[in-house]
Each structure stands twice: as structure tokens, then as C-alpha cells.
Structure 1
Amino acid sequence: MRQPSFGVEEELLLVSATGDPLPRSKAVVKEVQDGDVALELTRAMVEINSPVCRTPAELHAALSELRARLATAAADEGARLLAIGVAPQGRAAQSITKQPRYQELAHRWGSLAREHGVCGLHVHVDVSDKETAVRVSNHLRPWLPALLALTANSPYYLGKDTGFASWRWLMIARWPCAGPPPYFESLEHYEALVAMHLAAGTLMDEQMVYWDVRPSTHLPTVEVRVSDIPLTVDESVLLATLVRAIVMIALEDGGRGPTPDLEVLRAAYWLAARNGVSDAGLDVLSAEPMPMAKVLERLQRHVEPALQELDAIDLVAEGIHRALTDGNGAVKQRRALREGKDILALTEIKPG
């Protein structure tokens, strides 16, 4: 079984001492002076781009170093760097990064862009070509809600409990060409749908394809974009390893993948965004309600041959067990608030 290389993009939030989004991204990125960090849509967001990795340990080391360096640069600019899906305090509208594409996006999409300060984790897995990426995306579709539930980390937004484990996903889903992707019959089918969006004006360019899995627009990879930014590096590595394993199973299978009903998939997403790992989910393949713990158990069984190849059986089993017993980011944020603790301290990345 081929072991494709993989890597991630982590979006992180800059805030003031009180937790309000702080528009200092340009100064922070300039201080790091490294191509592995980049600007994002709003001036309170920064992005880490990991190197191409071959092992979970390699990815863990790279993310730990980059998070610490970025946190140091943020502190030097009077900011705190948070691993959190949405802004916990402040106001909805945020300042847009002064780059032509981002400014044009804000001009066309108005408040949808200005209130888009959400932070996610994007996982890239190497594939041979775009056609393969489209085929593999069909295999990933049924597991996307489980991946969202596992790393949900955005229950609080602008000072209020939203009632959801991942409010970020609800915000993302407002965009055209976002959320659960269609089942693609072929690369031509994918390209025809993108062309329709472009002709209709619902997309500015192909970079605005925000489906939760897509062929990357700039790399020879399939890109999974469903997850909130996880609270810890361990959780990011867990998510990336699971995505890589699903891709490996899909490549070994060679077929076009299962065809669950889109409405079943949407229901599973909604439950994952609301409940995270703490309550009921929906098995997309059987359309059967079940605890999310059971859905994750089925996912582990599905990818077990790939995890054996990667020597990652224990890494994934222990990571999922921790999420179910200790909670994901959403559970930990709510627990901290119940105990009178500061969620800023919980989610803050410490300088290295």
C-alpha cells in the first residue's frame, strides 16, 4: 500500500489581552520571516504551512516549532495567539487583509467576508493527479462529519455559548460552494460544476471552492478542510493521520466510492457540528443514528489496514480515546468556563 506524503495548514487567531480579534497579522508574519507562515483573509488571522511530511512524528515536530515561533512573534507585537475556531470576544466584523484578492472578495461578498474570522485545519495528502483527487474525495465524503466532530473547537462566539460544538462550521456553510461536496462522477463533472459557479458569479475563482474536501488549487493533493483548528498539535496530527489513512484505503480500493444520500450527509454534519463527540451522531453509510463514539469506532476499523502500514494504530486509538474521555476542544472550553477558568488561557499557544 502506497504511503503518500502529507502536510497541513493551520489557521490561528490573534487577539488582545481581553480576547478581542487584533489586526496585527502583517507585523507578526513579517517578524517570523519564514515562508511557512502566511496572511489570511482577516488581519487577525495567521496561517501555518507545514512542510511535506512522511511520518506523524515529523509533522508533530514541525507544527510544535512553528506554533511556538509564531506565538513568540505575536507576543512581541502585543498579541496572544489562540488555537480556537472562532473569536471568543469582540464584534463580528473584522478588518480585511490589504491584499487585492482579499479586498475584492470583501467588496463582492460584504459582511459574509468581513465576518469570516474563522480558523480551521486543512489537511493535504499527495495524489498523482487531479482526477485521482476527485475520485478520492468521494471516499472521504462519508467520514467528514466524524472528522468534524473529533476536532470541534468553537462553542463560544462573541461572548456567547452558541449551543454548538463547532460554530465555525455553521459559519463556513453560509458560503456558496461550501460544506459537504457533491458526489463527483468524474473530473469533468467536478470541472463542470466549478465552471457553473464561476459563470454564475457565485465564485470569484477556483480558490473559492470551499467544499470540505476538494482537489487543491495549488498543490498535487486532495485537501480536506472540514475541521476546526484543533486545540493541540496532538489533535492536528491525529486528524491528519486519519485523513491520510482514508486516502490510502481509497487509493487501494480504486473504485469511485460510496454514494450516500446528500440529505443523510447533511444531517450527519449538523449533528457533528452541534454535538461533537459528546452525543448522538449518524452513520452516513447506513443512515443509522448512533453515538459518535460508535461512528469513530467504525472509522478506525475502516482505516485499520492503512494504519498498520503507517505504524499508527496506537497513535489513532489513543488519540480517539482521549477525545472521547477528556473531550475535544469544545468540551474543554465549556468545562473551563464551568470551573471558572479562562478559555483564553486554555486555547493560547505559548511562545517558544
Structure 2
Amino acid sequence: MEAPPTVGVEEEFLLVDPRTGTPVGKNVDVARTAADSGIDLQLEFTRCQVETSTRVHSTTTGLLTELRELRRGVAACAEKNDALLLAAGIPPTPSDDLPVTSTPRYRRIAEDFGILAHEQGLCGCHVHVAVPDREAALQVSNFLRPWLPLYLALTANSSIYHGIETGYASWRSVLWRRWPSAGPPPHFSSVHEYDAAVEMMLSLGVILDRKMVYWDVRPSVTFPTVEIRVSDVPATVEESALLAALVRATVMTARKDLAAGRQAPVIADDVLRAAYWKAARLGIDGDGVNPVDGQLIPSRDLLGTLIERVAPALEELGDRAFVDDAIATLMARGNGARRQLNAFRARGELGDVVEELAEATLQ
């Protein structure tokens, strides 16, 4: 029997002033301190962002442990540089400028994409699940497409932006989809079709390189994995591990369907866009769209449908109890979007939002 696929997670974080919550451009300093502590920290597009990457894991327990260690370690490095680490999809406090990290690639992106590149500070979470090859990654991607809005709703963590309520659980996802290569990918029937689409974007200049294929699920450019990029960075490590567990179980289920000769449903682009908008607007607490039939359904019920669908994989992985407990905790306490709103509405103070996020980041 084939061994379950391995999994890894990348998380992007904000660095903010511990007194005001304003983004601060200290990622180079924090990364240098992290390197001295043995932590490999990547610089993100703006100087107020850093990114962590886990090792490859075969168990969710091991993944959860490392995610927790990474957050605590990077938070300590940030503190040494008079900065606070926040797991938030977008900066909740106003910021006049988010300077671009000074690397040749980032500077070129900033030059070519104008204000779109400068209005960043957007932090996501990327889950990598091992697959045999690119063909398998694309076939699995088609099975993942219908569930992308649900993953987004579950992890939404960007309801406050620049000091105001956005009216969206995930405003990050709305801002992110302005990029020409972002959002849900088309349904691809072959590697040739995928490569042709990427070559078209390169030839038109709407992406500068293959790393700018920002679709929410794609064959990884760097690793032998399928990469799911749809979610805000979750508020807590448990929510990140929950997302990874659900994604890995969905990938396993898709591969078994493919081995049995079953094909992924072809979801119309307009239906998927509608499902995305509902997920970004209402998160896990409202109605979502079942992309397969286009009908409204409470997102919590849609989550139950996913759990039922991937239950055999969760059992095989030994993740069913963790997933059930993590979902129960999230529903009772709220994901990052709800926690931000609750903190802001209590007194109307942005400092309360920053405090809530900082606590959740290390929870």
C-alpha cells in the first residue's frame, strides 16, 4: 500500500510596532537575528513581512509542534528587534507606507506592477502535499478547486484593515485577487494545457517568471508537491495544522478517486468566483456556495460535507480526532476574522485587535 503523502506549511507574518501596532520595516534585522538562532526565515515582499517554512512531515502532530516552535522562535527574534509578530492576513492598523524589500526581483515587481505591488502587506498560508509528478499535481488540483472557497472561509483572518471594519472576513483575498495570475486556476486537462497558459502569461508580460503564477492551487515551482495558497495566515497554529490536515486528506481522497477512474467535477468559473466572494465576505459563520450545484449552504454544513468526504483518509492518517477537536474549538472561539471583530467592537480600539492577534499568534 502506498504511504500517505508528506506535508509542509509556509506561514507569512506581519512585524508591527509593539506600542502602536503599526507595521515596521524590520524583516532584514529579524531574519538576521533568526539566523543566529538557527531559524531560516525568508524575507517577504514588504519589509514588514517574514515567512517561515516547516520541514517535511508525515504526521500532523509533528507539523503542529514545529509550527508552534517556529512562531515562538520568530516572535522572540522580533522582540529582540523591538517588533511584535502578528499572524494576520493584512495590517489592521493604518500605515502610510509599506516599503518593498530591497532584492532585485522584488524591486522589478514593484516597478512593473505599480501601486498594486505597493499596497501589499498581505499574509497567507501555503500548504504543500507531496505528489509523484506534475501530472498528478494538476489532476489533484482539479479535485481541490471546489473546496478552495471553504478553505478560505475556514481560515479567514483579515476583517480589520487600516483601522476600519472591511465588511469581509477575508479582505486579504479580495485584495490579492487583483493580481493577473491570482485566484482560482482554470480546470486543466493536461500539463501541456497548463504550461501553455503559463507561457501565455509570460509572453504578455502579466507575470515576470513562473514564481508569479499565484493561483490558489498549483504544482509547486520548487518542490515535488501540489501547493494550496488560498488561505489567510490562520490566527493560531492549531488552525494552520487543521488546514494542512484537511488539505492532505483531500489530496489523498483525490488520488484514490483518480486510481479508481473517477474524474474531478468541472466547476464553472463564474460559480467558483461567486463561491470565493461569499467565502471572503462571510467566512465560516455565514452561507457559502456549494460549487458543484451552485446552491447556497451554511459554510459549517459545507465543512461537514468535506469531513464526510475525506473521512477515510483522515482515519488512515490518524487525524480524525484532531480535526474534530480543532473544528469544535474554532467554532466555539471563532477564527481570526471573528476574533478581530469581537476585539474591535468591544471598545473600538485598534490596540485591542493587535493584542488579540498577538495572543492568538502564540496560543
The interval holding the TM-score normalised by the smaller chain is over 0.9
Q: Is the 8 A contact 2:184 2:215 kept in 1?
A: yes
Cα distance between partner residues in 1 of 2:45 and 2:195: 25
Deviation at 1:339, TM superposition (A): 2.3
Contact kept? 2:11, 2:52, Cα under 8 Å:
yes
- Which residue matches 1:224? 228
Instruction: Specify every segment of 5 or more residues in structure 1 that has no aligned partner in the other structure, as ranges.
Output: none
Q: Deviations over 1:247-272 (max 9, x none)?
A: 00111111441111111111111000
1:253 maps onto 2:263 in alignment: no
Does structure 2 retain, via aligned residues, the 8 Å contact 1:43–1:95? Answer: yes
SS at match of 2:285: coil
Structure 1's 351 and 31: CA in aligned 2 closer, same or farther, altered over 3 A?
Answer: farther
Aligned equivalents of 2:73 and 2:296: distance in 1?
Answer: 43
Q: Which residue of 2 aligns with 1:73?
A: 77
Cα distance change on mapping 1:146 and 1:92 into 2, 3 Å: farther
Is 1:274 aligned with 2:281?
A: yes
Q: What is aligned with 1:55? A: 59
Contact preservation (8 Å) 2:288, 2:302: yes
* CA displacement at 1:319 relative to structure 2: 1.9
Describe the SS at the equivalent of 1:210. coil
Counterpart selection for 1:319 from 319, 326, 332:
326
State the shift of 1:192 in Å: 0.4
The residue number in structure 2 matching 1:345 is 355
Q: Check conservation: 1:166, 1:330, Cα contact below 8 A.
A: yes
Matched, 1:294 2:296: no
SS in 1 for 2:208: coil
Instruction: Output the amino acid matched with 2:172.
Output: R
| Mapping 1:112-123, distance limit 5 Å | 112-123=116-127
Q: Percent identity?
A: 46
Question: RMSD of the alignment, in Å?
Answer: 1.4
CA contact (8 A) 2:218 2:226 kept: yes
**Cα displacement string for residues 38-83 of structure 1 (whole angstroms, at most 9, x for unaligned residues):** 1010000000000101111101111111111100110111111001
Offset of residue 107 of structure 1: 0.7
Distance 2:8 2:257 in 1: 23
TM-score of the aligned structures, taking structure 2 as reference length: 0.94
2:31 corresponds to:
29
1:126 is aligned to 2:130: yes
SS state of the match for residue 13, structure 2?
A: strand
| Structure 1 residue 189, shift from structure 2 partner | 0.6
- What displacement does 1:197 show? 0.2
Q: Secondary structure at the match of 1:60?
A: helix
Q: Per the alignment, do residues 315 and 11 of structure 1 end up closer, same or farther by CA in structure 2, a change over 3 Å counting?
A: same
Alpha-carbon distance change, 104 to 35 in structure 1, aligned in 2, over 3 angstroms: farther
Q: CA deviation at 1:114?
A: 1.0
Describe how 1:117-156 pairs up with structure 2 within 5 A. Answer: 117-156=121-160
Is the contact between residue 92 and residue 158 of structure 1 (CA under 8 Å) also seen in structure 2?
Answer: no
Shift of 1:36: 3.1
- 1:336 to partner: Cα distance: 1.4
Q: TM-score, normalised by structure 1?
A: 0.97
Partners of 2:253 and 2:97 in 1: CA distance: 42
Between the aligned partners of 2:46 and 2:87, the Cα distance in structure 1 is 16
In structure 1, distance between residues paired with 2:79 and 2:44: 19
**Cα separation, 1, equivalents of 2:116 and 2:162:** 16
For structure 2, the residue ranges without an aligned partner over 5 or more in a row are none
In structure 2, what residue type is equivalent to 1:101?
A: R
Distance in 2 of aligned mates of 1:99 and 1:123:
25
Amino acid at match of 2:92: P
Distance 1:105 1:151 in 2: 28
77 and 277 in structure 1: CA distance in 2 versus 1, 3 angstrom threshold: same
**SS of the residue 2:196 aligns to:** helix
Distance 2:57 2:113 in 1: 36
Give, in whole Å, the separation in 2 of the partners of 1:317 and 1:14: 32
Describe the superposition over 1:139-161 as per-residue Cα deviations: whole angstroms up to 9, x where unpaired: 00000000000010000110010
**Aligned counterpart for 1:241 among listed residues 234, 242, 245:** 245
Q: Distance in 2 between matches of 1:329 and 1:26?
A: 27
Q: Which amino acid aligns with 1:313?
A: R
Q: Where does 1:75-224 land on structure 2 (aligned, <5 Å)? A: 75-91=79-95, 93-224=97-228
Distance between the aligned counterparts of 1:200 and 1:129, measured in 2?
A: 28
Q: What residue number does 2:15 align with?
A: 14
Q: Quick one: distance in 1 between partners of 2:344 and 2:152? A: 22
Task: Provide the secondary structure at the position in 1 that maps to 2:312.
Answer: helix
Is the 2:129–2:227 contact (alpha carbons within 8 Å) kept by the matching residues of 1?
Answer: yes
Q: Secondary structure at the match of 1:123?
A: strand
